[in-house]
Amino acid sequence: MPEPVIRARDLSKVYRSGDADLVIFSGLSLDVERGEMLCLVGESGAGKSTLLHLLGGLDRPSSGTIYYGSTEISGLADSAQADFRNREIGFVWQIHYLLPEFTAQENVMMPLLIRGWTHARAAAESLARLDEVGLGARASHRAGELSGGEQQRVVLARALVGKPSVLLADEPTGNLDFRTGEMIFELLEGLHRSHQLTSVLVTHNLTFARRCDRVLSMEKGGLVSGERFDSHPGGTPEYL
């Protein structure tokens, strides 16, 4: 069997809250296979976003290890971890975090400029990615001049401009109406395939979750299989 792209072993995340420890999860392990689109679901506060931050090297576990291939990212120094994120991981968030004073193209260029690319090379690559998400004609528009769906397409272009191997998305359609969210998710699915990505998504949208290769639910600090599920009347997913 091929080695998983991501291997997380015995992860725990604990925050200090007053005089007590707040345990988000403990002893959590996860493998993500190459080319897989994995979905994480569960109630708010279950730790899905916390896990995604750990997998992306944006936070460090209280204990445990995270490997990308043979590289233990949880043990890298801050600068090496930042460089690894820039080269290997694309991020999509519920809030777009676009810089409002810059154009769509300039926002997409940022990861490449940080990497040390020349302005001309970064501009050409960013325009190609904007074309790919259908926004080439809007490249010179600032973030505030774009609709919510257009802003999220800029985020997708920014996430992919550095040609990462892994895409991490936290509620990528959470701030969009259903029709726009459907368009963004279809685009994300297509980009996952065309860029041969390994993707981990967090969503509350069960319709979108069902379209992923595998669904895991975070419950009581652990992960359980969630390939088969329906909903309680109040909308909380039930995993069978």
Q: Tell me the residue type at 80.
A: A
The pLDDT score that the predictor gives to residue 238 is: 42
Among 52, 60, 161, CA closest to 105: 161
Whether 29 contacts 10, CB under 8 Å: yes
In a domain, 93, yes or no: yes
Token code pair at residue 15: 């925050």
Q: Report the distance separating Cα 122 and Cα 115, nearest Å.
A: 10
The pLDDT score that the predictor gives to residue 237 is: 42
Token code pair at residue 80: 């090496």
The pLDDT score that the predictor gives to residue 227 is: 56
pLDDT digits (tens, 9 = 90+) for 20-29: 999 999 999 9
In a domain, 216, yes or no: yes
pLDDT digits (tens, 9 = 90+) for 133-144: 999 999 999 988
Token code pair at residue 205: 């949208």
- Cα separations in angstroms, 49 against 46, 93, 98, 118, 177: 8, 10, 20, 34, 21
Kindly report the CATH number assigned to the domain that includes residue 82.
3.40.50.300
In a domain, 141, yes or no: yes
**Cα atoms in the 13 Å half-sphere on the side-chain side of 126:** 24
In a domain, 84, yes or no: yes
DSSP 3-state assignment of 30? strand
The pLDDT score that the predictor gives to residue 222 is: 87
Give me the percent of the chain exceeding a pLDDT of 70: 93
Among 240, 194, 238, CA closest to 42: 238
Sign of CA dihedral 145, 151, 153, 157: positive
DSSP 94: S
In a domain, 1, yes or no: no
- The residue segments making up the domain with residue 232 are 6-239
Element (H, E) at 89: strand 89-93
The pLDDT score that the predictor gives to residue 221 is: 80
CA angle 97, 88, 105 (to 5 degrees): 40
- Cα separations in angstroms, 216 against 40, 98, 138, 184: 5, 30, 37, 22
Q: In total, how many domains does the chain have?
A: 1
For the chain, the distance separating the N- and C-terminal CA atoms, rounded to the nearest angstrom, is 28
Among 29, 24, 27, 25, CA closest to 7: 29
Give pLDDT tens digits along the chain (240 positions): 667 999 999 999 999 888 899 999 999 999 999 999 999 999 888 899 999 999 999 999 999 999 999 999 989 999 999 999 999 999 999 888 899 999 999 999 999 999 999 999 999 999 999 999 999 999 999 988 999 999 999 999 999 999 999 999 999 998 899 899 999 999 999 999 999 999 999 998 989 999 999 999 998 888 998 654 444 444 444 433
Q: Report the distance separating Cα 172 and Cα 159, nearest Å.
A: 12
The pLDDT score that the predictor gives to residue 80 is: 96
Tally of helices (H runs) and strands (E runs) in the chain: 7, 12
Sheet with strand 63-68: strands edge to edge: 20-32, 6-17, 63-68, 71-72
